[in-house]
Structure formats: structure tokens, C-alpha cells
Amino acid sequence: MITYEYECKNEVCKNVFEFKQRINDERLKECPICKGEVQRLISSNTSFILNGEGWAKDLYHKST
């Protein structure tokens, strides 16, 4: 499951929230607070970390 961020397009509400979905699930269409239209945001939060010549996260990288 992936955590997506959504933002309400309603100028009064502007609610920003997270929602866990599978990658092939349909996008959410309405805000849980005001029922207005929402848009999915592009987030810079990620668990993928580049480190030198390869990648590393929680010591899963190859030791040299």
C-alpha cells in the first residue's frame, strides 16, 4: 500500500490529508470534510535514499 497526499480544491476548506491505497486503485474524488473535489499531490517524502555509488536504507546496502 502506498500513502498518497491529497488536497481539497475548495478555497474555503483546503484540507490536506493522506490516504493509503494500492497503486492501481482509483484516485479519490472528494474531500472527507466538505465533499469538495480533491487533487493528488506530488510528495517529496520517500524512504528511498541514494548513497554514493548505490542505495542504502536500514543497512540493506552492500558493504565494501
Q: Is 41 exposed, middle or buried (0-12, 13-18, 19+ CB in 10 A)?
A: exposed
Domain locations in the chain? 2-55
pLDDT tens digits for range 9-53: 999 999 999 999 998 999 999 999 999 999 999 866 666 666 655
pLDDT-derived band at 6, boundaries 50, 70, 90: very high
